[in-house]
Amino acid sequence: MLLEVAAIETFYGPSQALFGVDLNVREGEAVALMGRNGMGKTTTIRSIMGLAPARMGSITFAGKSIAGRPAFRIARLGLGLVPEGRRCFRNLTVRENLVAAARPGRWTVAGVHDLFPRLAEREGQYADTLSGGEQQMLAIGRALMTNPRLLILDEATEGLAPVIRRDIWSAIRTLKQEGQSILVVDKTMAELLPVADRCVVLEKGRSVWHGTPTELTTTLQDRYLGV
């Protein structure tokens, strides 16, 4: 098992946001983390990354307990995060954004340019001069530059134009085919379900359903996801 999250509980000050989330990702697998807005998807991801440390439960990555470690050490173990809302380093150029995150491995600046040719064209531009879609590509590229064993995508296509969304999903499918382990949060069911090997549904800070996309019936989608 690459990532094992067991019964984590996370708080923001006195407010409890997660009440017991279980989640596993195997090597080479794509797992979709689903749920309506405010159910704890982003908090789960922040807890895994050490950005909102869990007070209870355990998080194990590649056999090592990562709970309580600083975020940069967790990322160095091989977790690459594409945060919600893109969040590139706007005071850096496209190339500098990629280089700042670089760690040795398969992914290089040239590799990211192959995946997202638009970034090659915009190499010398500052991140805040890019379109939303290009910033999202840059955020994914930056996460890949860390050469992660597990890529975590938090709402990677939210708020993007359909044509850009298509490009991003195409890139995600390519990554999946290449064997990249992925944990993905997204609301676009039509694109998400074909990519995912398994799904985990969160409701009110708890993981309430685990299964394959084919098992996720319309009734369940209606009940948990409101779609």
Q: Which residues bind other proteins (CB under 8 A)?
A: 49-51, 70-73, 75-76, 80-81, 83, 87, 89-92, 96-97, 99-103, 126, 128, 142-143, 145-146
CB of 165 to other proteins, least distance (A): 23
Cβ nearer to other proteins, comparing 128 with 178 = 128
Backbone dihedral angles phi then psi of residue 23, each to the nearest 5 degrees: -165, 135
How many other C-beta atoms are found inside a 10 Å radius of the C-beta of residue 18? 28
CB of 58 to other proteins, least distance (A): 21
CB of 163 to other proteins, least distance (A): 27
CA 26 to chain centre: 15
Cβ nearer to other proteins, comparing 20 with 105 = 105
CB of 101 to other proteins, least distance (A): 4
Cβ nearer to other proteins, comparing 55 with 73 = 73
Cβ nearer to other proteins, comparing 33 with 101 = 101
